[in-house]
Amino acid sequence: MKKLLCTLASLIMVLPFLSCLKTKAVNFPLNSPITSESAVLINLDTNTVIHQKNADRKQMPGPLVNIMTAVVCIENFPDLSKEITIDESVYDYLYNIEYPDDLRFAEILDGDVLTMTDLLYAMMLTSSVEAAETIAYKVGDGNTSKFVEMMNDKAVELGLENTHFTNATGMYDPDQYTTANDMADLTMYALTLPYFETISTTFSYSPSVPNTKSHPNQANEWVWTHSNVMMDPEGDYAYSGAKGIKTANLDLVGRNIVTMASRDGNKYLAVLMKSPLNDSKGETTFYHITDAIGLFNWAFNHFSYQVILADTAEVGELPVELAEGNDYVLARPKEEFTLLWYDDIDISTISRDKVVWYKNSLQAPVAKGEPLGEVTLEYSGEELGTVEIVAVSNVERSTSKYNLYAAKMFRKSRWFNKALLVSFLLCAIYILMCIYSYIVFKSKAKPMKPIYAVPKMNDKKRRKRGLDNKDE
C-alpha cells in the first residue's frame, strides 16, 4: 500500500510536466552557424522546437547539473526558509580536486548561517560548490550519495534517457553526462516548480540572514551576481530580455549555458553545450553567449504566428450517395491552424495532401460541419500537425433516389430475410399439420370388417326371424 501511494504521488507531481514537454517541429536552418557543438532552441509559448544541433549527443554538463540539484531540493526539503549552519567539512575535499578551476565558490564560510533558499540562490547564480554540497548533504539526510541517487531517480521519472549524474556540484566526471534535449526537458520541468524561475533568473542577491561576524560588510560585499553576463545591463554582452538560468564551465570540455529571453510577447529557451573556451588564437572567448544571442535574434526577427491552413480552405471532397444535386461534399478544416513559422519559408510549400477520411463515402443527408476526416500538414517530411476536416455545406437527400434504393435494399434487408425465414417455417408447419389432419381423417373413415358389419342377434330373435322367413 505504501509503495502504491508513493507511485501515485510521483505521478501527481509529474503531471504538470507532461503538458510542458516540447513538441517535435521543423528544424529550421539558421542564417549563420553557431559554434557550440550541441544546441536546442524552443519557443516556450508553444513548447515548439525551432532549431536543433546534435541535440541528442551526450555531453558533460558541468554545473548545469545544479538545475537538477535545485529540483530535488525544492521537491524534497519541507521548509526552504529553514536556517542551516554551514559545515565546511562537507565540501572541504573539493579544495584538492584535480581540476580546481572548474569549481566556483561564493565565499560561504564555516559557521555561516543561511536559509535553504539562500543556498539555492548561491548555487544557481554563482555555481557555488559550498551551496551545492550543503544542499545535497542536508536533503540526502547526511549522505550526498543518497542525494545523487535521488537525482538519477528524478531523471528516470522525467524520461531523461541520456542523462546520468554522479555529483551535485557539476565537477568533472566522465560518467556524468546529459544532452541538450534532456537539459531542455529538465529545465522546462523545473520552471513549473515554485521558486525555481524566480531564483534562477535573479541578477543579484544578498543572503537574507545576517552573518556580520564573518562578513562585516555583508550588504555591500557579500552579494552574489548571476554568471550569465547577458543579464548585466552594463556589460559587453548585455541582451534585452535575457533571463538566467544557468551557466557552466569545464576546463576539459568547454562552456555550457541554459538561458531564456522574452521580447514582444514571445519567450524562448536556449540550451548550448560544449562551446570552446578559447578561439583559434588561444584568446578567451564566450561563444556560448554569442551563440545564445544569435539564436535569440534569429528567432525574434524571423518567426511569427502565421495561418498555415485557413478554416475556409477546401482540402478535398467525398462522394455522397442518394444526394439531391451534386453527388459529393466539399471538406474544410474545422478550425484555423496557426503555427509559429519562419518567414523565409513560403507557406505554400507545406503539404496538405495526407488526408484520412473517416468513411470512404457518405449517404445523404449530410449536415454542414459534420466531421469527415483529418488532414495532416507536413514540411520536408516532418509533421507539423493534424486538423479535423468537416463538411462545407448541407447535402439533402433525393426522395426518388432513396425510394429506388429502399426497394433494392428491401430484399437484402436483415429483417426481410428473417421474415422470409419465419414464413417458410410457418408454411412448413401448416403443411405438416395438413398432412397430419389428413392421415387422422383417413384413419377414421376406413370401412369396418364384415364381422362387425351385421349386428349380432340372440338365439330367440334368430328363431323368430327364421319362422317369419318360412311363413313368407
User: Do both 225 and 117 map to the same domain?
Assistant: yes
Question: Whole-angstrom Cα distance, residue 323 to residue 238?
Answer: 67
Which tens digit of pLDDT belongs to each residue from 27-79?
898 989 999 999 999 999 999 999 999 999 999 999 999 999 999 999 999 99
Answer yes or no: is pLDDT of 336 > 70: yes
Q: Is the pLDDT of residue 450 over 70?
A: no
Helices 116-126 + 66-76 axis angle, to 10:
170
Rounded average pLDDT over 7-18: 43
Is residue 153 in a domain? yes
Distance CA 127, CA 247 (A): 8
Mean pLDDT on 224-230: 97
- Provide the terminal-to-terminal Cα distance of the chain, rounded to the nearest Å: 123
* Same structural domain, 432 and 382: no
Quickly count: other Cβ atoms within 10 Å of residue 319's Cβ: 13
Could you tell me if residue 66 is inside a domain?
yes
Residue range 11-17: mean pLDDT, rounded: 43
Do 93 and 165 lie in one domain? The reply is yes
Structural domain contains residue 10: no
Q: What is the pLDDT of residues 401-445, one digit of tens each?
A: 877 777 676 666 666 667 767 888 888 888 888 888 888 877 776
Question: What pLDDT shows up at residue 3?
Answer: 41
Whole-number pLDDT of residue 5: 42
Quote the CA–CA distance of 188 and 260 in Å, as a whole number. Answer: 11
C-alpha cell belonging to residue 395: 447535402
User: Is residue 212 domain-resident?
Assistant: yes
Q: Distance (Å, rounded) from C-alpha 255 to C-alpha 168?
A: 18
Residues 354 and 234 in one domain: no
pLDDT tens for 130-145 read 999 999 999 999 999 9
Burial class (CB in 10 A: 0-12, 13-18, 19+), 225: middle
Whether 125 and 204 share a structural domain: yes
Identify the bridge partners of residue 249 per DSSP, sorted by sequence position. Answer: 255
| Same domain assignment for residues 433 and 361 | no
Q: How do the residues of the chain divide into helix, strand and coil, expressed in percent and rounded to 5?
A: 40, 25, 35
The string of pLDDT tens digits covering residues 249-261 is 999 999 999 999 9
The pTM score is: 0.80
Domain stop point among 275, 302, 329: 302
Same-domain pairing of 284 and 343: no
Does residue 191 sit within a domain?
yes
Residues 262 and 343 in one domain: no
- Cell numbers 544557481 correspond to 124
Contact (CB, 8 A) for 313 and 294:
no
Residue 154, judged by CB atoms within 10 A of its CB (0-12, 13-18, 19+), counts as buried
Q: Mean pLDDT across the stretch 105-129?
A: 97
Q: Which of 374, 400, 426 is the last residue of a domain?
A: 400
Residue span of the structural domain in which 248 resides: 16-302
Residue 41 lies in a domain: yes
List 333's β-bridge partners, or say none.
Answer: 389
Clarify whether residues 142 and 246 are in a common domain.
Answer: yes
Interatomic CA distance for residues 462 and 459, integer angstroms: 5
**pLDDT score, position 442:** 75
In DSSP terms, 205 is beta-bridged to 224
Q: Which of 16-25, 312-321, 426-435 has the lowest mean pLDDT?
A: 16-25
Contact, 193 vs 203, CB < 8 A?
A: no
Q: Please give the DSSP secondary-structure letter assigned to residue 272.
A: E
Residue pair 398/380 in contact by the 8 Å Cβ criterion: no
Pairing between strand 316-321 and 266-275?
A: unpaired
Mean pLDDT of the chain: 89
Look at residue 140 and give its three-state secondary structure. coil
Q: Which of 14, 19, 70, 49 is nearest to 197 (CA)?
A: 70
Work out how many domains the chain is built from and give that number: 3
CATH of the domain at 37: 3.40.710.10
Q: Are residues 273 and 351 in the same domain?
A: no
Q: Which of 349, 376, 400 is the last residue of a domain?
A: 400
CB atoms within 10 A of CB 142: 10
Instruction: Give the CATH number for residue 322.
Output: 2.60.410.10
Say if residue 245 is preceded by a cis peptide, omega within 30 of 0. Answer: yes
Question: 448 in helix, strand or coil?
Answer: coil
pLDDT confidence of residue 402:
79
Give percent above pLDDT 90 in the chain: 74
Closest CA to 372 of 434, 315, 439: 315
Other Cβ atoms less than 10 A from the Cβ of 56: the count is 13
- DSSP bridge partners of 467: none
Nearest Cα residue to 244 out of 188, 194, 286, 201: 201
CB 80 within 8 A of CB 227: no
51 and 113 co-located in one domain: yes
